[in-house]
Amino acid sequence: MRCNVLITAGSRRVPLVRAFQLAVDRYAPGSAVVVADVNPLSPTVYVADRSYPVPLSTSPDYLDAIERICRIERIRLVVPTIDDELTLFGTQISRFGGLGAVVAVSPAETCAVCNDKLETCDRLNAAGVRAARTWLPGDVPADSGFPLFIKPRGGRGGVGAFPVRTARELDFFTDYVADPVVQEYLNGPEFTIDVLCDFEGRPISVVPRERVVIRAGVVDRGRTVRDSSLIQFGIACARALPFRGPINIQCRVVDGVPIAFEINPRFSGGIPLTIASGADFPGLLVQLAAGLDLTPAIGVFEDDLWMTSHESAVFVPAHGIGFSVDRDASRERVA
C-alpha cells in the first residue's frame, strides 16, 4: 500500500525527513515524503521528495493549503511538528480522515493542556503522576522556599526560563517574563522520554534519553537510558491524557524519583537519537498509517547510545532556490 507522508513546518528537521524516507522505502515502497513550509530556504525543502509553500499556521488559509497538498499528493500520513499548529490539527483529525489521511497528532484538548505548563502539571498530579509543583506568581506559597524556577506559561525551547534564588529575583522575573508560571526547582539529571502512541492512544514505544548538554533548548549531547522506572513513568504520563502519535516528556530525577515538568505532544528535537537507537518511530507510524500489523516494542532500543550533534548544511545554487512544486517535482532525493 502506498503511504505518502506530509511533514508540516519541515524547517531544519532534515534527520526526521530522512528517517521517514527510509521508513516508506521499507514499509511502503514507491511512497514519497513531502514537506510543507513557509520558507523556500528551509533545508528540508531540498531533502524531501517534494515540497510545497504554505502560509503561516495562523493564517485562515493554512488548513486549506494543507488539504490541497493532501489531495494532490494522496497523502496517507500527516505529521505536524510545531507547537503552534498542534491544537489546530487536533481539531481537524476527522477532516483529514475524510481525505484518507491520518494525522499523527493528539486531540485538540490534549494539545491545549500541554501548551499550558500550569495545566499540564495540575492534570498529571491529579492523575497520580508526579509533576513539578507549579503556581501562578501570585499563588506561590510563602513557605515554598528558594530556589524556584520561572518560565513562560506557554513557552518553548527554554526561552525566558530562569532559576530564581531570592524574593527580589522572583519579583524581577515576574515582571520580565511574559505570562509566567513558577515551578519548584528540580535538582537532578534531566531526561526526555520519547513516547509513541498508536491512534487508539496506546503507548507502543518508550525511550528515555538523558540530556547531558543542552543548547538553545535542544539536546546537543545525550544518551539513551534503559531504566525501568523512567520507562514506566513515561507510560504513566502517556495514560494521564489521551495522546496519539509522538510525545516527549521532560522530567528530572530527584532522589531517584522522576518528576515531570512539561509534555510536548510532538517529535522532540532529540528524536534522531531515539531513532538511531533502534526505536523507529517513523517506521512505526508508517506501518500504522498503512494498516500493517505491528507489535508494541516498549523498551526495545540500544541502551547507552550517545549522540553528539553537529551542524550540517544543504547547498543550493541560486537558480535552484524554491519549492519543488515550482521546479522538477520528480527529482531524486538529496544524498
The pLDDT, as a whole number, for residue 107 is 98
Does residue 125 lie in a domain region? no
d(C-alpha 25, C-alpha 17), whole Å: 12
CATH of the domain at 91: 3.30.470.20
Q: How far is CA 233 from CA 237, 249, 250, 252, in A?
A: 6, 9, 11, 11
79-125 tens-digit pLDDT: 999 999 999 999 999 999 999 999 999 999 999 999 999 999 999 99
Cβ of 236: how many Cβ atoms within 10 Å?
18
The pLDDT, as a whole number, for residue 205 is 98
End-to-end CA distance of the chain: 25
Does residue 281 lie in a domain region? yes
Average pLDDT over residues 5-33: 97
Exposed, middle or buried by CB within 10 Å (0-12, 13-18, 19+), for 105?
buried
Strand partners, 148: 164, 184
Whether the predicted model's global pTM rises above the 0.85 cut:
yes
178-207 tens-digit pLDDT: 999 999 999 999 999 999 999 999 999 999
Does residue 129 lie in a domain region? no
The domain of 30 spans: 4-113+188-326
The pLDDT, as a whole number, for residue 237 is 98
Average pLDDT over residues 269-285: 97
The pLDDT, as a whole number, for residue 119 is 97
Exposed, middle or buried by CB within 10 Å (0-12, 13-18, 19+), for 320?
exposed
What is the tally of structural domains in the chain? 2
The pLDDT, as a whole number, for residue 218 is 81
Rounded to the nearest 5°, which phi and psi values hold at 182?
-115, 135
d(C-alpha 144, C-alpha 166), whole Å: 11
Same domain, residue pair 266 and 303: yes
In this model, does residue 57 exceed pLDDT 70? yes
The pLDDT, as a whole number, for residue 331 is 45
Q: What is the DSSP letter of 266?
A: S
